[in-house]
A = this chain, B = another copy of it.
Amino acid sequence: MRLRKEPDTMQEEDILLIARVSDALAHPARIKIFRFIMNANRDRKKICNKDVVEAFDYSQATISQHIKKLVTSGLLEVQKSDRFSYYYANLGVLMKYLDATKKFPPTV
């Protein structure tokens, strides 16, 4: 495998980010919910809680809890409008997470 040639630059900040986002992604349902919302955003579709409940086989309460965890991690954002909560994937947080994990492979 290829190893990084740059110096080891993973900082405490990176470690905390990885831990926080990993905690949010540690359940298959949350990975799927996050991707469902992210892909809907790409198609310019607004996604509310009800849409997610209908797309997955979990109760409304459970979906709300999973989404809450995704919001806490920063991966999702909420915008309340009308009587709905619309969710949006925060691609910046996703990218920071992916960049941080790139620093895992050991330097040579």
The residues of A with any CB-CB pair to B shorter than 8 Å are: 1, 8, 10, 15-16, 18-19, 21-23, 25-28, 31-32, 35, 38-39, 41-42, 91-92, 94-95, 98, 101-102, 104-108
Closest to A20 in B: B26
Nearest CB of B to A63, in Å: 17
Residues of chain B lying within 8 A (CB to CB) of residue A10: 35
Q: How far is the CA of A28 from the CA of B23 in the complex (A)?
A: 10
22 residue pairs bridging A and B, Cβ less than 8 Å apart: A1-B91, A1-B92, A15-B28, A15-B31, A15-B32, A18-B25, A19-B26, A19-B27, A19-B28, A22-B22, A22-B23, A22-B26, A35-B104, A38-B104, A39-B106, A41-B106, A42-B107, A42-B108, A94-B104, A94-B105, A98-B102, A101-B101
